[in-house]
Chains A and B, each alone.
Chain A
């Protein structure tokens, strides 16, 4: 049984349909990437999973249907969504941002976890008392991911984490994600345009075009797929 199983997902914004019945799976401990160009429905897919976008079809987490539940309820099932453009709380300090991430937790290990993620991302420790809004894009992305980790997630949804970041920062970010996955075994679903890095990090992937899955395979298979190479890796 897979951790997340999406099938026949359809949805959009008012009369505009964006998702045309797509399906995919994420297994426990995996990093799965969904590649797609602008407007192919990447963000909509991820928003439908976290309850931010009305959709039909089926989204099952641990075999429980979560489609139609509100975002708060899905977050409490420990699906952590890092939205496009980071979605940090600019008026709150770095530490407060992390505490907000643990808002629905009832256990007492919150302080321990804050320390843990500040150790994983040392830059954040330096800026612990600084307002999130005053940090650089890369730092904010690290903060957004740490905040998501504070939810003790079973699944991390990352919406174009590389957007707006310098290439070196992006590289560091993906290395961190791979390291986190090895250490914590948290499953990740990443939607990305940056196919090169994403495929190096992920175990498997899907290609999304105009709201439909058009190709799937292991990262190696996709990286050697001619269509993918042409469209996303800038190779003929």
Chain B
């Protein structure tokens, strides 16, 4: 039982990270209809910036905030320079651009920051408490708080502010949005910027739970995040969070209890994606809009 609870907590901890990267994917997908394959590598670059800042002596929490701000600007720049020129092209073209960004960003990261392993401190220190036989780490509690806070702020932004209304209007009907005077370009830029920020946050949460920061650090996370988004529904922020948690827990339990999966845990998200696409292509929370005429 103890082992089960411990694995469950590990799973939720990872799930929180998958959820935050999945949220970033969903945000871009909802506002632009693009699956951003470079999401993980954008987060990777930001995580290296966070590391560089701590290397210069900046505190980890401050470093995360600064790198989120830098990521915000970079996300906007990426939309403006790389995505906008192909915006009206077929989705495949945009997809290829994001895959190109994936490769380019990974190489640029290695070029700028070197290829040796780095250590990124955790934002939550290494406190832990024992409840019975189960150990609850500060990291676990911190991750959950950060996710809860992120979700709340995103919800307020999207549902309660004028900017959020504009973002949703562009996502819903870009042409009509322009006809009421909303600059769709600006909205898409903001969508990419917020999403890149979320990625920076997710990266800085995730890397300290792994042995070291390397150029490959966030590639598996992207796969898990895609699984989470597919599971929850690509157009649903709630789905991204629930999907992330399910994928995280499924992975942790599979490692523990399914012997053959020990060394190939990446199989878990692919299996989940496969099953979801077979039985519920819109995901658990995805909407099948029925339009009446």
* A interface residues (Cβ-Cβ under 8 A, vs B): 50, 52, 70-72, 75-76, 80-81, 83, 87-92, 96, 99-101, 103-104, 133-137, 147-148, 151, 164
Asked if A100 and B175 sit within 8 Å, CB to CB, the answer is no
User: Complex formed: what's the CA distance from A135 to B293 in Å?
Assistant: 8
- Which chain A positions have C-beta within 8 A of B292? 133-137
User: Complex formed: what's the CA distance from A50 to B181 in Å?
Assistant: 11
DSSP class of B's interface residues: helix, strand, loop or mixed?
A: helix
User: Complex formed: what's the CA distance from A104 to B180 in Å?
Assistant: 7
User: Complex formed: what's the CA distance from A134 to B293 in Å?
Assistant: 9
- Which chain A positions have C-beta within 8 A of B119? none
User: Complex formed: what's the CA distance from A76 to B183 in Å?
Assistant: 11
The 8 A CB mask of B165-183 against A (1 = contact, 0 = none) is: 1101101110111111111
B162, B172, B183, B290: which contacts A92 (Cβ < 8 A)? B172
- Which chain A positions have C-beta within 8 A of B133? none
- Which chain B positions have C-beta within 8 A of A70? 178
- Which chain A positions have C-beta within 8 A of B258? none
Residue of A nearest to B178 (CB): A71
Asked if A133 and B289 sit within 8 Å, CB to CB, the answer is yes
11 additional A-B residue pairs with CB within 8 Å, beyond A71-B179, A83-B175, A90-B291: A70-B178, A71-B178, A75-B180, A83-B179, A87-B173, A87-B179, A89-B169, A89-B177, A100-B169, A103-B165, A103-B182
Asked if A100 and B290 sit within 8 Å, CB to CB, the answer is no
- Which chain A positions have C-beta within 8 A of B172? 89-92
User: Complex formed: what's the CA distance from A92 to B158 in Å?
Assistant: 12
User: Complex formed: what's the CA distance from A134 to B291 in Å?
Assistant: 6
Asked if A72 and B171 sit within 8 Å, CB to CB, the answer is no
B234–chain A nearest beta-carbon distance, Å: 14
Count of residues in B whose CB is under 8 Å from the partner chain: 24
Residue of B nearest to A70 (CB): B178
- Which chain A positions have C-beta within 8 A of B181? 72, 75-76, 103-104, 151
Residue of A nearest to B171 (CB): A91
Asked if B180 and A133 sit within 8 Å, CB to CB, the answer is no
Asked if A96 and B165 sit within 8 Å, CB to CB, the answer is yes
User: Complex formed: what's the CA distance from A123 to B286 in Å?
Assistant: 29
A-B contact pairs, 15 of them (CB 8 A): A50-B179, A52-B179, A80-B179, A87-B173, A90-B289, A91-B172, A91-B287, A96-B168, A99-B165, A100-B169, A103-B169, A104-B180, A104-B181, A133-B290, A135-B292
- Which chain B positions have C-beta within 8 A of A147? 180
- Which chain A positions have C-beta within 8 A of B173? 87-90
- Which chain A positions have C-beta within 8 A of B171? 91
Q: How many A-B residue pairs have CB under 8 A?
A: 83
B179, B183, B184, B287: which contacts A81 (Cβ < 8 A)? B179
A72, A99, A134, A164: which contacts B178 (Cβ < 8 A)? A72
User: Complex formed: what's the CA distance from A75 to B176 in Å?
Assistant: 11
User: Complex formed: what's the CA distance from A83 to B173 in Å?
Assistant: 12
Closest 7 CB pairs of A and B: A75-B181, A104-B181, A89-B172, A87-B176, A71-B178, A91-B172, A100-B169
Within B185-225, the residues touching A (CB, 8 Å) are: none
B28–chain A nearest beta-carbon distance, Å: 16
- Which chain A positions have C-beta within 8 A of B293? 137, 164
User: Complex formed: what's the CA distance from A103 to B161 in Å?
Assistant: 11
A163–chain B nearest beta-carbon distance, Å: 9
User: Complex formed: what's the CA distance from A135 to B290 in Å?
Assistant: 10
B27–chain A nearest beta-carbon distance, Å: 15
Residue of B nearest to A73 (CB): B181
A90, A96, A103, A136: which contacts B180 (Cβ < 8 A)? A103
User: Complex formed: what's the CA distance from A83 to B166 in Å?
Assistant: 19
B162, B175, B290: which contacts A103 (Cβ < 8 A)? B162
User: Complex formed: what's the CA distance from A137 to B293 in Å?
Assistant: 5
Asked if B175 and A52 sit within 8 Å, CB to CB, the answer is yes
Asked if B179 and A75 sit within 8 Å, CB to CB, the answer is yes
A122–chain B nearest beta-carbon distance, Å: 20
Among A50, A76, A133, A147, find the residue whose CB has the most chain B CB atoms closer than 10 A: A133
User: Complex formed: what's the CA distance from A103 to B289 in Å?
Assistant: 25
User: Complex formed: what's the CA distance from A22 to B187 in Å?
Assistant: 35
- Which chain A positions have C-beta within 8 A of B165? 92, 96, 99-100, 103
User: Complex formed: what's the CA distance from A100 to B178 in Å?
Assistant: 11
